[in-house]
Amino acid sequence: MKHTLKNIFHSPKFVAGFVIFCGMLLFTVLYPLFVTADPLEMVGQGNFFKPGTYVSVKDSVNAPSYRLNITVKDGNPDSLLTDAYKADMQDWLVRFGGVSEEEIQAAADGGLVELWLEKYDAQTAQEGLLATKKRQIARMDGEIRNLAEDVDLILAKENENGELEETATVNSGQYINVKDVVNQRTLLLGTDNFGRDVMTELVQATGTSLRIGLIAGVVATLIGLTLGLVSGYVGGAVDDFIMFIANLFTVIPSFVMLILITYSIGQAARGVTLIAVVIGFTSWTWTCRSVRSQVISLRNRDHVNLSRLSGHSMPRIVLTDILPYVASYVVMALILQISSGILAEAQLSMLGLGPSTTSTATLGQMMNWATMYAAHLNGAWWAYFPVVFVIAMISFSLSLMNMGLDQVFNPTLRD
């Protein structure tokens, strides 16, 4: 056993996969110890806030200010515009400002405000534009010009008579240190469509998906191993019956069966554990057939015949004389089943048939939410790309571990 483990950990592929997988597993365990917030807490009142540190505007106004020789005009006013404003500006400039599409594209990365200030004229004939839209464009022009100018902001509050009184002015030379702002929150991966912290949600979803994969892998491996051992050793009518069942599961695609079973269960009953068990129940066939073929080659070996002649029972012969010879393959099958279970859950959740729960999230559910709310069309890469990356890294690490084990236990692949 010691020699076998030594050979396993001498395999570069296995070690690389093992390190990646354990690193991800360790992160899902340690992260909640430092970030104790509810993963499904809606921290944002809106969809897809981009990653960054968010501070309270009210606290920032009241925080101590510092004079720095850096003015707002030195920055890029384009960054202060909303996407809707940019779209309206580009449309007006092309239709009425005599600006070509090439110039618009050139100004898209910076310089759109400068181009607008140069070309916009409220007196321009704007044929085909509704009067309400003209007024909207004129108001927008005023806001844009305020952004471009270094104008002091006036802060005011109501007095006892309900009248506004100026309390302070803020100019572009005043800055605050974010450390002086008490209420702030860093969202490393922004928020999702529900306004939830994607990073915290992703960590919990990774742990849940790993649990689903582990349960599904254990269930599938146990069923396949048990039926494969019995079918291969006993043979005859028992073998024919087990292979008949296995062939039924093989003829009907396992994912189709998985969809039908989960749909028939109903949304209310689809919990994390139940979905994992169903995935395992529909993915045992190839493990069973592979174990059966190995057992058939082992059942007439000399040591098995000697054990049979010694009067040992079938369970003892199977467990002590046959199982140790297929144990390495069982471990490899378990690793692949775990990976397949995670991918199967992601596929089910993308179809809306994944676990139905309000207390946790899975990687597949996060992908489903991002797709439903068109995160890819809104440019909210943080809502789906980290999920895809985590799924890919889990599958990649488990595949590396499996290839490393195959090199150790398969004589034809040894160096």
E-strand spans in 161-275? 164-170, 174-176, 184-187
Between CA 349 and CA 209 the distance in angstroms is: 11
Task: Give pLDDT, residue 300.
Answer: 81
Q: Could you read off the pLDDT of 250-284 as tens digits, one per residue?
A: 888 888 888 888 888 877 778 889 999 999 998 88
Which pair of structure tokens corresponds to residue 309?
A: 């002649």
Amino acid at 225: L
Which residue reads 């146990």 in tokens? Answer: 222
Between CA 74 and CA 87 the distance in angstroms is: 24
More confident residue, 8 or 13: 13
Amino acid at 314: M
**Listed residue (279, 258, 256, 284) closest to 209, CA to CA:** 279
Please give the angle made by the CA atoms of 410, 332 and 315, to the nearest 5 degrees: 95
Contact indicator for 202, 192 with CB cutoff of 8 Å: no
Distances in Å between the alpha carbon of 303 and those of 299, 308, 317, 318, 347?
A: 9, 9, 10, 12, 45
**Listed residue (173, 208, 223, 186) closest to 25, CA to CA:** 208
Least confident of 60-69, 136-145, 277-286, 330-339: 60-69
Amino acid at 44: G
Between CA 330 and CA 334 the distance in angstroms is: 6
End-to-end CA distance of the chain: 21
> The dihedral of CA 167, 172, 173, 178: what is its sign?
positive
Q: Is 144 helix (H, G, I), strand (E, B) or coil?
A: helix
Between CA 322 and CA 307 the distance in angstroms is: 11
Q: Is 167 helix (H, G, I), strand (E, B) or coil?
A: strand
Amino acid at 27: F
* Number of residues that make up the chain: 415
Query: At a CB cut-off of 8 Å and minimum separation 6, what does 356 contact?
Result: 267, 268, 269, 270, 271
Which pair of structure tokens corresponds to residue 261?
A: 């079973």
Residue 121 has pLDDT above 50, yes or no: yes
Please give the angle made by the CA atoms of 51, 55 and 61, to the nearest 5 degrees: 145
Q: Could you read off the pLDDT of 25-50 as tens digits, one per residue?
A: 999 999 988 888 888 888 888 788 88
Contact indicator for 92, 140 with CB cutoff of 8 Å: no
Between CA 47 and CA 194 the distance in angstroms is: 6
Least confident of 47-61, 137-151, 283-297: 137-151
Amino acid at 194: F
Quote the DSSP letter at residue 411: G
Q: Could you read off the pLDDT of 334-360 as tens digits, one per residue?
A: 999 999 999 999 999 888 888 877 778
Question: How large is the average pLDDT for residues 120-139?
Answer: 83
DSSP string, 325-344: HHHHHHHHHHHHHHHHHHHH
Residue 74 has pLDDT above 50, yes or no: no
Pairing of strands 174-176, 65-67: antiparallel
DSSP string, 204-217: HHHHHHHHHHHHHH
Residue 395 has pLDDT above 90, yes or no: yes
Quote the DSSP letter at residue 165: E
The model's pTM:
0.76
Which residue reads 């002649």 in tokens? Answer: 309
Question: How large is the average pLDDT for residues 91-109?
Answer: 79
Quote the DSSP letter at residue 49: P
Residue 356 CB neighbour total at 10 angstroms: 18
Between CA 369 and CA 367 the distance in angstroms is: 6
Between CA 84 and CA 93 the distance in angstroms is: 14
Between CA 68 and CA 352 the distance in angstroms is: 53
